[in-house]
Amino acid sequence: MAELTKSGVAGVLARQGILIAFVIFMVGFAIANQRFIAVDNVFGVIRSSAILGVMALGVTFVVIGGNLDLSVGSMMSFSTIVVLDLHDKLGPALAIPAMFALTLLLGAFIGFLVGYLKLNSLIVTLGMLSAIHGLTLTWSGGKNMDIADKSGTWFGFFGQGSVMGIPMPILMFAGLAAVLGIVLARTPFGRKVYAVGGNGTAATFSGVPRARVVFTTYLLSAFCVATAGLMQASRSMGSQNTVGQGMELEVLAAVILGGASLLGGSGTIFKTVIGVLILGFIQNGLLLVGLEFYVQYVVTWTIIILAVWLDIAAKRGRLWSPIA
């Protein structure tokens, strides 16, 4: 490893360290239990990772823009509860756009605080994590929300349906990843997100509307959260108030695992998707191996830290660094 140069095979290693780590884990689990790579298991894992994945897509924009979003977990609970409640009151055709509008409003509020008022995103979104949780509980009165007539509605399509044999959550995750991947890599807006996150002051002096870009990243994040909430609600047709609790950290882990810098300015949608899949497959793989579940927490995070290390090591060409 110490002799890696940025050319040829070594160059690929350096750029795709996380991808290689991913392949190593997949092969390892497949040897441990061959059902791991059975088609229905792979589909199952991607489908259940899709909810986390869709949220991670939005957070990728926020993180590249140099900010954090810790509110996505409780915002997802909010979307899920709201759409389930409105489903029985307004019908699915109105409930879905209404839920999206409300969730986007929350995103706009956070975007306003962080973008235009320049408040620290860690504090704002940490506060919103609790505030939105309270909002959700106020909305539901703390009760579980369930669709009364589960068989008489088409609402289950987004979570349980499939098109040409591919489950809808996978299609939505893939579709959104493709669109957002293009937005980030190929549009002026995408370049502005990198510019703002890389060096905000320089971006401002170059005429990039920093506040508006940051605001838009939070809107995008809220849109992704609303989509995730829709998938979640549609998949289980009922939910408790804490359905998204703790997901903000898993989302952040997936984004960072994909190689986005917490300091902003770097990361890609593709690598976030790999990060999401690593998380999903580790959890599933450990279940299939049948490891004692107390040990699973330890092993999961050991693997994640190992993956991050491999990624960093490949980038700098050596396993350890005497300078920070």
**Which string of x and - marks every residue 242-261 that binds other proteins (by CB under 8 A)?**
xx------------------
Angle at 173 between CA 14 and CA 262, to 5 degrees: 45
Distance in angstroms (rounded) separating the CA atoms of residues 289 and 125 = 37
Which of residues 20 and 171 has its CB atom nearest to other proteins in the complex? 171
Position among 153, 204, 266, 283 found at the interface with other proteins (CB under 8 A): 283
C-beta of 33: minimal distance to other proteins in Å? 7
Whether the Cβ atoms of residue 208 and residue 195 lie closer than 8 Å to each other: yes
Report DSSP state, residue 3. T
Q: Tell me, what amino acid is at 8?
A: G
DSSP assignment string, 205-253: HTT--HHHHHHHHHHHHHHHHHHHHHHHHHHHSEE-TTTTTTHHHHHHH
Does residue number 293 form part of the binding site for other proteins (CB under 8 A)? Answer: yes
**Nearest distance from C-beta of residue 301 to other proteins, angstroms:** 15
Total of residues contacting other proteins (CB under 8 A):
30
- 192 with 200: CB under 8 angstroms? no
Q: Which of 199, 240, 266, 300 binds other proteins (CB under 8 A)?
A: 240
Task: Indicate the residue among 237 and 314 with the shorter CB distance to other proteins.
Answer: 237
C-beta of 143 vs 316, nearer to other proteins = 143
- The site string for other proteins over 85-124 (x = CB under 8 A, - otherwise) reads ----------------------------------------
Is the torsion defined by CA of 307, 313, 316, 317 positive or negative?
negative
Min dist CB 250 to other proteins, Å, is 12
Residues 6+ apart with CB under 8 A from 98: 82, 86, 90
Among 28, 97, 142, 175, binds other proteins (CB under 8 A): 142
Residue of 85, 113, 112 lying closest to 99 (CA atoms): 85
Residue 205 binds other proteins (CB under 8 A): no
CB 261 within 8 A of CB 199: no
Take residue 165 and report the two structure tokens written for it.
Answer: 């044999």
End-to-end CA distance of the chain: 18
Strand ranges, E, within the chain: 145-146, 162-163, 166-167, 238-239
Nearest distance in Å: CB 44, other proteins? 5
The minimum distance between CB 288 and other proteins, in angstroms, equals: 5
Q: Which C-beta is closer to other proteins: that of 20 or that of 287?
A: 287
Please report how close the Cβ of residue 41 comes to other proteins at its closest, in angstroms.
4
Q: How far apart are CA 205 and CA 92, in angstroms?
A: 47
Q: Which residue has the tokens 């040990």?
A: 295
**230 scored as a contact of other proteins (CB under 8 A):** no
The rounded distance, in Å, linking the Cα atoms of 193 and 195 is 5
The residue (of 63 and 70) whose beta carbon lies closer to other proteins is 70
Q: Residues 67, 125, 221, 232: which binds other proteins (CB under 8 A)?
A: 232
Pick out residues in 10-39 that bind other proteins (CB under 8 A): 33, 35, 38
| Site for other proteins contains 40 (CB under 8 A) | yes
Contact call for residue 143 and other proteins (CB under 8 A): yes
**67 or 239: whose CB is closer to other proteins?**
239
Binding residues vs other proteins (CB under 8 A): 33, 35, 38, 40-41, 44, 48, 137, 141-144, 146, 160, 232, 235-236, 238-243, 283-284, 287-288, 290, 293-294
